[in-house]
Amino acid sequence: EVQLLESGGGLVQPGGSLRLSCAASGFTFNKYAMTWVRQAPGKGLEWVSGIGGSGRSTYYADSVKGRFTNSRDNSRNTVYLQMNSLRAEDTAVYYCAKRTVYGSGLSDYFDYWGQGTLVTVSS
Amino acid sequence: QSVLTQPPSVSAAPGQKVTISCSGSSSNIGNNYVSWYQQLPGTAPKLLIYDNNNRPSGIPDRFSGSKSATSATLGITGLQNGDEADYYCGTWDSGLSDSYVFGAGTKVTVL
C-alpha cells in the first residue's frame, strides 16, 4: 500500500524558513518523480514543485522560484521542500504526491497524495 | 486566475447526472492528457481520472472523462450524497509558465 506522510509544517514569521518532509513507502521510490501541491485556506490547488526520480531534475512554479528548493534522499525514501523567505501568501496546506509521467510528459498525473501539512506564515 | 477554466459549481438530485467542463488551450489540454481529482471535505485530493478517460483501480464507472481539442469533461452518473466534493482538472502547461496547472475547482452539490 502506497503511503505518503508529510511533516514539518507550523507557524513561521514572514521572511523565515521551514523545511517540509514527505516519507514514502509502498513503492519503488527512486523510480518515481514526486511533486508538491499546496492549497491556501478556502482556495484551490496550486502546483508548487516537482522532482525527478534521481533528484537531478527539479521544476518550480514562478511563485516560489528562487525561494523554495525541492530535494530527495532516495536512501531514506523521503522528499523535502526547503522554504525560505516565506511570505503571508505561502500560507497553505502542503501536500506531497507521487507523480506518474511518461510519453515525454504527454501523460502526467498525481496518483497518490499525502494528508498534507499546514504552513502558516504570520507575525 | 486559473489557466484552466471550470464552472464554480454544479448541482443535481441523487441519481441524476452532472458534467464538469475544463477549458484550456493548445499549450495545455490541446497537447497533453488531462487528469481529474476529487477532494472530499476536509481530506486530501484523490486521483479520479487520468490520461483523459482512464479510471484508477477502485474508482466506480459512474465517473468518466473525455477530451476534445482544448477542452475536457468529467461526467458523474447516478449521483450519490458521497459525491459531494470539489473536483479539479489538471494537466501540464508548456506555455509561458511551463508548469503543471489546475483548474480553480468545481463544487458538486447533491440536492
Q: pLDDT (tens digit, 9 = 90+) per residue, B17-34?
A: 999 999 999 999 999 999
Asked if B33 lies within 8 A of A109 by C-beta distance, the reply is yes
Asked if residues A9 and A118 have their Cβ atoms less than 8 Å apart, the reply is yes
Residues A17-30: what's their mean pLDDT?
98
Asked if B99 lies within 8 A of A37 by C-beta distance, the reply is no
Question: Would you place residue A31 in the very low, low, confident or very high pLDDT band (cuts 50, 70, 90)?
Answer: very high
Chain B interface includes A27 (CB < 8 A) = no
Q: With pLDDT > 90 as the criterion, what percentage of chain B qualifies? A: 94
What is each CA distance from A58 to A33, A37, A85, B93, in whole angstroms? Answer: 10, 14, 19, 16
Q: Does A86 have pLDDT greater than 90?
A: yes
Q: Chain A: nearest CA to B98, how far in angstroms?
A: 8
Q: Does A105 have pLDDT greater than 90?
A: no
pLDDT for B36: 98
Helix (H) or strand (E) holding A36: strand A33-39
Asked if B50 lies within 8 A of A113 by C-beta distance, the reply is no
Q: Chain A: nearest CA to B72, how far in angstroms?
A: 14
